Amino acid sequence: MEPTDFFEAEARRCGYRRVAGLDEAGRGPLAGPVVAAAVLLPRRCDLPGLNDSKQVAEAERERLYDEIARRAIGVGIGLADAQAIDALNILEATRFAMGRAIQALAVPPDFLLIDAVFLSSVPLPQRAIIKGDGLSVSIAAASIVAKVTRDRLMLEYHQRYPQYRFHIHKGYPTPEHLRLLAEYGPCEIHRRSFRPVRQALGRAGQPDLAQGVAAVGEGA
């Protein structure tokens, strides 16, 4: 079953007019940023094939990304880099990135639909929906935008740190990534608060750069 506009229509029946969906990509990896997207779709925006990004093949995600960018009323992107994640923890860094995504929208929303997260620091009416990326068209669109944006960033990081093969695993803790992490030790974009990275630091005898982090980074 594909996402529908049920939640968007319900919000509009309550008087809201600019309903934005929010989702993130990259909470689980050992390296790279967490990326959030906010997407404001027009009413009755039919996007065939739209679904939770984890259920959509890469080529189809790219096609949907272009279609969303073309048809959306507004798309906002926010991110928190590895240093921010280490300073805040992954959940708070996700909320931080989502706040930035909302701020980046050219058209301000008056209601938020969010995948399983509540943003207490954002003074807007909102609804957190468990597995919302498979239920709400706006959240599913945000899921696609966040995933494609993050994957493209990880391709750029591969050019900077080719030994880790970020273009293949995108920073997730695959067996290959763990092997390369053990071989080379962490680089600048590894999340030092995550256990496998801490363990690699200990084996390599490197200083833990996460200690004493005072500032929240906006992007690597």
Looking at the predicted structure, is the pLDDT value of residue 220 above 90? no
The Cα–Cα gap between 164 and 119 comes to 34
The Cα–Cα gap between 194 and 142 comes to 26
Instruction: Note the pLDDT tens digit of each residue in 134-152.
Output: 999 999 999 999 999 999 9
Could you tell me the fold of the domain covering 6-157?
A: Nucleotidyltransferase; domain 5 (3.30.420)
CB-hemisphere CA count at 13 Å for 58? 7
Q: How many beta carbons lie within 10 A of that of residue 12, not counting itself?
A: 15
Instruction: Note the pLDDT tens digit of each residue in 104-126.
Output: 999 999 999 999 999 999 999 99
> pLDDT class for 211, splitting at 50, 70, 90?
very low
Domain layout of the chain by residue ranges: 6-157, 160-204
The Cα–Cα gap between 39 and 114 comes to 11
